[in-house]
Structure 1
């Protein structure tokens, strides 16, 4: 074999090993998105549980505020439905975008409920209510941190997918941009 043939085989092997390494790196980053969403999903589930308990406790205490409760319940149901869709493919842009909107609606409904509770002085004697609210605030802070980790994982993945020469591989294997929350 001539030196030119060896050079050709060497370049082919180099491209092959680069392709395998780049593919594995992008898959590892994509799996990191799934892992980060799993942590976020735990906090979404815990928030749903706490909101349900809070609403159960408040319904008899504030019978005139059923519209506020219904808004929070609807937002919670929508968030849980969309979280289920994101669990399957947390790196897919469309379900994550829908979940981001649902989270914003949920946050607005929860803020309205919290401000409503601040205006009702008669509720201050219910210790269980304030314990639930404190627990919910803690879960919200944890969810916010988990969301930040998810967004960082998405950023690392998107950066890897858009860099040359990995971008060539990404288009061949269908690695698209992920969306942050």
Structure 2
């Protein structure tokens, strides 16, 4: 073999190993999005359970606030459906976008419920109610933190697929930009 052949084989091998390394890096970053979503999904499930308990407790006490309860139940159902659609592939933009919208609607309904609780002084004597509210606030803080971790994982992945020359390989491998919440 001539020197030119060795050079071509060396360049081809380097390109092959670089391509494999770039693919593995993108897969590692995409798996980071999956791992971050699993943590976020746990907090979404915990929030759903606490909201359900809270509504069961409040409905007999405030029967005239049915519209508020229905709005929260509907928003919770939308979040559950969106999270279910996002679970298999949290790096796909469409279901994550739907989850973001559903989460915003849920946050508005939950804020309305919390505001309503503050205006009903007669509820202050129910210690178990406020224990649930405190637990819900704690889960919300954890959910917010896990959402930040998810968004950071998405940002790292998106930055990696836009860098040259990985950008070329990302399109060849079928990697698309992920969406944050």
Q: Is the TM-score greater than 0.5?
A: yes
Q: How do 1:143-154 residues align onto structure 2 when only pairs under 5 Å count?
A: 143-154=143-154
- C-alpha displacement at 1:35, in angstroms? 0.2
SS in 2 for 1:88: coil
In structure 2, the partner of 1:104 is: 104
Alpha-carbon separation, structure 2, partners of 1:160 and 1:179: 14
**Where does residue 45 of structure 1 map in the other structure?**
45
Task: Give the match's secondary structure for 1:108.
Answer: helix
In structure 2, distance between residues paired with 1:138 and 1:100: 20
1:20 aligns with 2:11: no
Q: CA deviation at 1:81?
A: 0.6
How far, CA to CA, are the matches of 2:31 and 2:171 in structure 1? 18
- In 2, the alpha carbon distance for the partners of 1:173 and 1:71 equals 43
1:80-95 residue pairs with structure 2 within 5 A?
80-95=80-95
Is it true that 1:125 corresponds to 2:122 in the alignment?
no
Quote the offset at 1:113 in angstroms: 0.2
Correspondence for 1:114 = 114
1:78 aligned partner: 78
Tell me which stretches of 4 or more aligned residues in structure 1 moved more than 2 Å: none
1:107-154 deviations in whole A, cap 9, x for unaligned? 000000000000000000000000000000000000000000000000
Q: Distance in 1 between matches of 2:132 and 2:87?
A: 27
TM-score where L is the length of structure 2 = 1.00
Q: Does 1:6 align with 2:6?
A: yes
Which runs of 5 or more structure 2 residues have no equivalent in the other structure?
A: none
The answer as to 2:163 corresponding to 1:166 is: no
Query: Would you say how many aligned residue pairs link Structure 1 and Structure 2?
Result: 181
Distance in structure 2 (CA, Å) of the matches to 1:63 and 1:159: 50
Matched, 1:176 2:176: yes
